Structure 1
Amino acid sequence: MSLATSRFLAIVICLTSTAAPARAVASDQAFASSTDDVVTIRRCLDGNDERAMTCIGQIADGCLAKARHEQPWMARMNCWSRENHAWEQLLNNKYKELASKAKLQDTATGPYLERNSYEMLEDSQQKWLVFRDAELGRFWAMRAPASASWRAADLERVRLRLTVDRFVELSME
């Protein structure tokens, strides 16, 4: 990937992950994130975090059905971004929960206990973030014939899938 392509991808990732939800709220209420989104996904999970894959689309599908936007790619990008925001909150909560458990394990006494659980979790998460960003870059490059607008919209869907995959991985603890 060329330096120019890398820079362009970094800008698109920043814009789609931070600016899109704010821009969307101003233009269409269907795109407005809310704490209800996390509740909706939690309700779908029904106490079984490992069934997360069946809950993808709980927010985006309803959002897209309500979206009144002249640019379909913009609606897709904003609705997938909105759902991803909710899943990221769930992932962050799951990570914090595991970090607390790992820190307790690291300070517990007794035989056969690992003493670097938190360090390993933190290292794993950092490496996953690098993987996620590389995977988004790969997707962007592979979709080069498509317009940048549609690629940005589809990039949000891929980001969502990667986030949910990580949520499931951390839920298997």
Structure 2
Amino acid sequence: MNVKMIAIAGFFAALTTPVLAQDNQFTTADEIQMQNCWEAVTDLNMQGEEHSLSECIGAASNVCMEEEEGGMTTVGMASCIMRENSWWDSILNINYQNLKQILEPKQFEDLRDAQRKWIAYRDASCAFHYNYWGNGTMRSTAFAGCMLDTTARRASELSNILDMSML
């Protein structure tokens, strides 16, 4: 088993912690959807095709919206999206901690500074999407969608950096 596969296995093992019971926290079903998508992308990449983890954005939340009672309501959609967002946020944090272990101190300091600026950007950008909708019910879904997309893309970016660092 190569280093990348070991890291992926450890990564998924870390996700099975007891944090699942929190509000808007991903469920076992969400985890299975995301893991299946992640593995499919990884398999395609290992076969020489070029795919990105960002292709998995929406894999769990779309199923949640279709299958959960009330999933197609505004509140239900926002909840499903934020559940998946919590999965991506955990990926982002795992990747960040793994990068902390393998990057040179100056490289990690640069990453830490970038991460702090990214968090400020994400929060401001998603606040804009929320406020743009005023008092409309769409604002919670717009906010959740922004958080999911922004967090997932950053998690994917850190995953790519981690992959390159392990070569």
For 1:93, give the aligned amino acid.
I
Change (3 A) 1:36 1:75: closer
- Partner Cα separation in structure 2 for residue 77 and residue 93 of structure 1: 24
Change (3 A) 1:55 1:74: same
Q: After TM superposition, list the pairs within 5 Å mapping 1:52-131 onto structure 2.
A: 52-69=53-70, 72-102=73-103, 105-106=104-105, 116-131=106-121
Structure 1 runs (4+) deviating above 6 angstroms are none
Structure 1: runs of 5 or more not aligned: 1-20, 25-31, 107-115
**TM-score normalized by the length of structure 1:** 0.67
**TM-score normalized by the length of structure 2:** 0.69
- Partner Cα separation in structure 2 for residue 51 and residue 157 of structure 1: 19
Which of 37, 41, 48 pairs up with 2:34?
41
For 2:31, give the aligned amino acid.
V
Structure 2: runs of 5 or more not aligned: 1-21, 46-50, 162-167
> Would you say the 8 A contact 2:84–2:148 is kept in 1?
yes
> Identity rate of aligned residues, in percent?
25
- Relative contact order (C-alpha < 8 Å, sep 6+): which is higher? 1
How many residue pairs match? The answer is 132
For 2:117, give the aligned amino acid.
K
Q: Determine which structure has more spread, i.e. the larger CA radius of gyration.
A: 1
RMSD between superposed Cα atoms in Å: 2.5
- Residue by residue over 1:64-118, the C-alpha shift from the partner in whole angstroms, topping out at 9 and shown as x without a partner, is 112222981111011101111111111111111111112xx23xxxxxxxxx112
> Would you say the 8 A contact 1:38–1:90 is kept in 2?
no
- Residue by residue over 1:102-140, the C-alpha shift from the partner in whole angstroms, topping out at 9 and shown as x without a partner, is 2xx23xxxxxxxxx1121111111110000011012212
> Would you say the 8 A contact 1:45–1:51 is kept in 2?
no
Residue 140 of structure 1: aligned partner: 130
Q: After TM superposition, list the pairs within 5 Å mapping 1:153-172 onto structure 2.
A: 153-172=141-160
For 2:126, give the aligned amino acid.
L
